[in-house]
Amino acid sequence: MQSSQRLNWLRRILLVKVALCFLVWGLPALLAPPALLPLLGLSVPEDPLLLRSFGALVITMGVAYWYAYQDPVKNVAILKVGLVDNGLAALAVLLSAVTTGASSWFAWLSAGLTAFFFAALALLMPREHAA
């Protein structure tokens, strides 16, 4: 695949990632009432501080992905952070499933999506040019 095609696919994937960061993970975790979590198959934490902090972090990553979307080559460091972010998120859900038996459809969907984004970033990461 040519470099321009790779960048076009990367930008499309980043746009989807931005939308998911804001609409599916970030804003609901930051602002939604705790009663929403059982609808997603998730348990309601007694103290919502970690949930709200997670939402703020995901929105922050969504902003970073937006910058990467605008210029993936210039913002390759954001893509590298995203590689780690998505890899660790997918791994965390898998480890949780193995150790505690996580069974939430939303957690599994999120793990699948983050694994997809990890693979996409790994495959489509712009190659650094030698100076």
Residue 60 has pLDDT above 70, yes or no: yes
Query: Once rounded to an integer, what is the mean pLDDT over residues 68-91?
Result: 96
- Report percent pLDDT > 90 for the chain: 67
Contacts of 51 (CB under 8 A, 6+ apart): 29, 34, 45
Helices (H) then strands (E): counts for the chain: 6, 0
Work out the mean pLDDT of the chain and round it to a whole number: 91
Of 49, 125, 54, 41, nearest in space to 92 by CA? 54
- Model pLDDT, residue 43: 79
Contacts of 48 (CB under 8 A, 6+ apart): 34
Q: How many whole angstroms separate alpha carbon 56 and alpha carbon 120?
A: 24
Q: Which long-range contacts (CB under 8 A, 24 or more apart) does 38-44 make?
A: 40/104, 40/105, 40/106, 41/103, 41/104, 41/105, 41/106, 41/107, 42/104, 42/106, 42/107
33-37, 40-44, 87-91, 101-105, range with greatest mean pLDDT: 87-91
Between residues 17 and 43, which one has the greater pLDDT? 17
